[in-house]
Amino acid sequence: MTGCNTSGRTLTELKIAQAYVRLSSIPLDSPEASVSLASIAGCEIRMVRGPEADLDGVPLFWLELFDHNTKRAVDSFCCHRIKDAVPIFDHFVAQAERSNKPDGPDR
């Protein structure tokens, strides 16, 4: 059974997996340790490298919602698996869209 929601989730998971491959290919000593997943209005959803992943429960990466207007991270979440990142990505998209409404983020 393939529904619209399931295929959307699969596409998001694929997008996150591709970003993780790009992030993993960035040299460890590089100052650029993030990959952009999406830009919504003045916000950007980024995948950020954390400490080196190992078998001791260290996250693979962090997702970050960055506001370019304030030059600050609005929210972030550590992800131990790519599947963990899908609902967080969707939540960050909704947050960014709400912050772009004319009435402000609380409406």
pLDDT in tens, 54-87: 556 678 899 999 999 999 999 999 999 999 999 9
In single-letter form, the type of residue at position 54 comes to D
Residue 52 lies in a domain: yes
Alpha-carbon distance of 6 to 21, in angstroms, equals 23
Q: Which residue range(s) make up the domain with 14?
A: 4-99
Residue 105 lies in a domain: no
Q: How far apart are CA 44 and CA 31, in angstroms?
A: 18
pLDDT for the residue 40:
94
Residue 92 lies in a domain: yes
Give the pLDDT of residue 51.
60
Using 50, 70 and 90 to split pLDDT, how confident is the model at 103?
low
Mean pLDDT of 26-55: 84
The chain-wide mean pLDDT, for the chain, equals 85
How many distinct structural domains can be found in the chain?
A: 1
Q: Is residue 48 part of a domain?
A: yes
Per-residue tokens: 10: 């699969």
> Does residue 107 belong to any structural domain of this protein?
no
pLDDT of 107 > 50? The answer is no
- Nearest to 80, CA basis, from 38, 32, 28, 20: 20
